[in-house]
């Protein structure tokens, strides 16, 4: 039996394992997005402090929208991971 077929049969017999693995994938991605956004925003504040006030306002508004998007996607990934984990306990 080929290794991929053996893995597929194992995963078919254990659907909770597949859902937990998918939940782990989403949780890692969501938490990475939140951490990267936090680091990006702290570095962005330092960069904006060196710009003149007129350019600083435009850059700050754009950065806030991007950060809000990244936080939203990260939160959705973490929420989906939670739902998948709760669903896997039903199997």
User: Alpha-carbon distance 76 to 62, whole Å?
Assistant: 21
Domain ranges of the chain: 16-88
Q: Quick one: pLDDT at residue 50?
A: 65
* CATH code given to domain 16-88: 1.10.287
User: Alpha-carbon distance 65 to 46, whole Å?
Assistant: 18
Q: What is the mean pLDDT of the chain?
A: 86
Mean pLDDT, range 73-87, rounded to an integer: 96
HSE of 72 in the Cβ direction (CA atoms, 13 Å)?
Answer: 6
pLDDT > 90 fraction of the chain, expressed in percent and rounded: 48
Q: Quick one: pLDDT at residue 84?
A: 95
Q: Quick one: pLDDT at residue 32?
A: 97
pTM of the predicted model, to two decimals? 0.75
Structure-block tokens of residue 64: 């806030």
Q: Quick one: pLDDT at residue 40?
A: 87
- Give tens-digit pLDDT for 5-31: 988 898 889 889 889 999 999 999 999
Q: Beta-carbon neighbour count of residue 44 at 10 Å?
A: 18
């Amino acid at each position: 039996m080929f290794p991929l077929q053996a893995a597929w049969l194992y995963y078919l017999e254990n659907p909770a394992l597949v859902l937990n693995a998918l939940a782990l994938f989403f949780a890692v991605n969501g938490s990475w997005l939140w951490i990267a956004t936090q680091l990006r925003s702290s570095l962005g504040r330092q960069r904006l402090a060196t710009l003149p006030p007129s350019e600083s306002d435009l850059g700050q508004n754009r950065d806030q929208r991007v950060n809000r998007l990244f936080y939203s996607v990260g939160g959705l990934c973490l929420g989906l991971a939670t739902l998948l984990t709760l669903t896997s306990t039903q199997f």
